[in-house]
């Protein structure tokens, strides 16, 4: 079949996920490195962090409940239910390699403690005044657990939603849950604000990596958006 001049000089079609801007990975990673350096070096950013914590902290029952949404026993089952639904849907639709998204999300969740625990030991940061004396508060494990569990669940469920409104609603619910946990942890005095911000950065890198992987995974009938 002859090739037209337009086809001959047309740029190659980008693969799914190839248009994701580099800042989605680079900017959070750079900010995380900066905050970690300030924590390890006891830099001036920590003085600002402590002043901000004194302004924001004010324990109440509502903040306690919000912080509990970041518990492993609450957030991880949500991801497990979303993974089960994604696997059943893929099996029903006859999608090849149906277990890849589920396995990828599970591995990402397992990676959270594998990264957070060594970082806590490395930085050895003391906690805010409202918690018992101790160290190992940076970064926030509850924030990272909530972000990766709820964010991973959203990424698994998005391809099954047919309308843009439904997809936006799911992403909004995920964001509200993560922000709620973050607010609860700082308000209750369980973490410094920078502990939470650092976990946002770490989770952004992890979830963007999962998004890029899922964008290259076959969807039912070749449809669905990562």
For residue 93, the model assigns a pLDDT of 66
More confident: 2 or 162 = 162
Domain spans in the chain, listed from the N-terminal domain onward: 60-219
On the question of pLDDT at 144 being above 70, the answer is: yes
State the SS3 of 147-193. Answer: HHHHHHHHHHHHHHCCCHHHHHHHHHHHHHHHHHHHHHHHHCCCCCH
- Tell me if 107 sits within 8 A of 95, measured CB to CB: no
Going by pLDDT thresholds of 50, 70 and 90, the confidence category of residue 5 is: very low
pLDDT tens across 149-168, in order?
Answer: 999 999 999 988 889 999 99
Residue with tokens 């002859």: 2
Average pLDDT of span 55-74: 95
The pTM score is 0.85
On the question of pLDDT at 190 being above 70, the answer is: yes
For residue 15, the model assigns a pLDDT of 46
Average pLDDT of span 79-107: 82
Angle at 95 between CA 90 and CA 96, to 5 degrees: 130
């Amino acid at each position: 079949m002859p090739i037209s001049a337009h086809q001959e000089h047309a740029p190659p079609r980008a693969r799914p996920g190839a248009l994701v801007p580099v800042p989605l990975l680079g900017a959070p990673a750079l900010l995380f490195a900066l905050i970690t350096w300030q924590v390890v070096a006891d830099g001036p950013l920590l003085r600002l962090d402590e002043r901000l914590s004194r302004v924001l902290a004010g324990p109440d029952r509502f903040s306690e409940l919000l912080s509990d949404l970041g518990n492993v026993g609450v957030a991880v089952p949500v991801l497990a239910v979303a993974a089960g639904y994604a696997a059943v849907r893929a099996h029903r639709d006859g999608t090849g390699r149906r277990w890849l998204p589920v396995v990828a999300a599970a591995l990402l969740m397992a990676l959270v403690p594998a990264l957070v625990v060594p970082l806590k030991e490395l930085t050895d940061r003391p906690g805010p005044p409202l918690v018992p004396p101790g160290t190992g508060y940076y970064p926030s494990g509850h924030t990272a657990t909530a972000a990766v569990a709820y964010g991973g669940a959203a990424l698994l469920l998005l391809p099954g939603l047919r309308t843009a409104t439904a997809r936006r609603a799911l992403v909004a619910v995920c964001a509200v849950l993560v922000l709620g946990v973050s607010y609860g942890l700082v308000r209750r005095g369980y973490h410094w604000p920078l502990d939470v911000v650092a976990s946002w950065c770490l989770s952004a890198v992890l979830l963007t990596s999962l998004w890029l992987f899922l964008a290259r995974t076959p969807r039912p009938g070749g449809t669905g958006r990562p």
